Amino acid sequence: MIGSLPYKDAGKACDLVLRYIKDLPAWPQLPKRAYAENMYTQYSEGFPGIVIKDNKTFVDRTQDLAKPLEQFYTDYFAGDFSKYGVSPEYAAGLHKFLSLDIKPRAVKGQVTGPISWGFTITDETGKAIIYDETFGDVVPKFLRLKASWMEQALKKLSDNTIVFLDEPYMSAFGSVGMQLSREQVVSLLNETFAGIKGKKGVHCCGNTDWSLLLQTPVDVLNFDAYNYAGSLALYTPDVKKFIERGGLVAWGIVPTDTESIMKETAPSLRDRLEEAMAPFIRAGISHKRLVEQSLLTPACGLPTVTEAAAERALQLVSELSAGIRNRL
């Protein structure tokens, strides 16, 4: 599962996840519950100078931030992530999930990545914080501590953890709206990934330069295979190297709009998945190996669909996975 669901009740959301995603569940983000669960605000607690006002989240640089910045860097260099957690007010689904008596094979969590977070959070003038000379350096270090805290929290449920960086803004890479070089993007991601000791994942639900993401130490590459299967096929040599080093491709093959969810079936999605995998098999990756190093997910989060559609989407992921495993 990618993360978000259209529920306000954390217990109901967790019940749904565990009904269908038993082996590798993820905690549910609930943006409809409160503004604080917006995927950007959700990870803002503890950032020096952060202000939440009138459903806006920004860094107020007019404050005297010398001491908060000094404390942050002290914590960062000490590797002390204890003060950089995500509280129940900001992630009710996470804390309900952590309270459950479950022992899955592995468990997955997510943190918004530095590019997406840094472009969405602004200063008091509306300028993206990623471009600020001081705070642009803080962003990946701050999210690194968040990711470390997240991983440690998830270990209560399983020693096998996967922490994703969600990077929807990577679909804008190379456009006039993202004035970051390839080297800067890789550096930002690597800094954040360094806080994750277990499996590292990245999710981008649009078209992007996949070779750039594969330059990082990522273990799980998650993309929208329902709408953008051809975009990854353009980088077949890079994907082949990724598979050869043990990487996993997480195919976001289940759609995330209500109409498409309700019209698709497990067999129709299996056909679509096989079509998406075909270019990589033609490039020399064995079908067996590709399937063994694959995961199945919805194409993106499910915060805007109906509750019935969200359940149907997770049911389709489960049915499709079980069907392929039984057949092979």
Q: Which domain holds residue 319?
A: 10-327
Residue 1 lies in a domain: no
pLDDT grade for 253, boundaries at 50, 70 and 90: very high
pLDDT grade for 48, boundaries at 50, 70 and 90: very high
Residue 4 lies in a domain: no
Residue 3 lies in a domain: no
pLDDT at 176 > cutoff 90? no
Residue 57 lies in a domain: yes
**Mean pLDDT throughout 274-279?**
97
**Alpha-helix runs per DSSP H in the chain:** 10-20, 66-78, 92-98, 114-120, 135-154, 182-193, 210-213, 229-233, 236-244, 258-263, 266-282, 287-292, 307-327
Kindly tell me the number of DSSP H helices and DSSP E strands found in the chain. Answer: 13, 9
Kindly state the tokens that stand for 235: 């980088």
Residue 54 lies in a domain: yes
Task: Report angle CA 217, 221, 225 to the nearest 5 degrees.
Answer: 165
pTM of the model: 0.95
pLDDT digits (tens, 9 = 90+) for 4-29: 999 999 999 999 999 999 999 999 99
**Mean pLDDT throughout 217-221?**
98
pLDDT at residue 196, as a whole number: 98
pLDDT at 132 > cutoff 90? yes
Kindly state the tokens that stand for 157: 């449920």
**What are the strands of the beta sheet with 56-59, ordered from one edge?**
50-53, 56-59, 122-123
Q: What is the three-class DSSP state of 251?
A: strand
Average of per-residue pLDDT values in the chain: 96
Residue 158 lies in a domain: yes
Q: What CATH number corresponds to the domain at position 127? A: 3.20.20.210
Residue 5 lies in a domain: no
pLDDT grade for 69, boundaries at 50, 70 and 90: very high
* Domain total of the chain: 1
Residue 304 lies in a domain: yes
pLDDT at residue 179, as a whole number: 82
Kindly state the tokens that stand for 23: 């082996």
| Cβ atoms 318, 19 nearer than 8 A | no
pLDDT grade for 178, boundaries at 50, 70 and 90: confident
pLDDT at 174 > cutoff 90? no
pLDDT at 83 > cutoff 80? yes
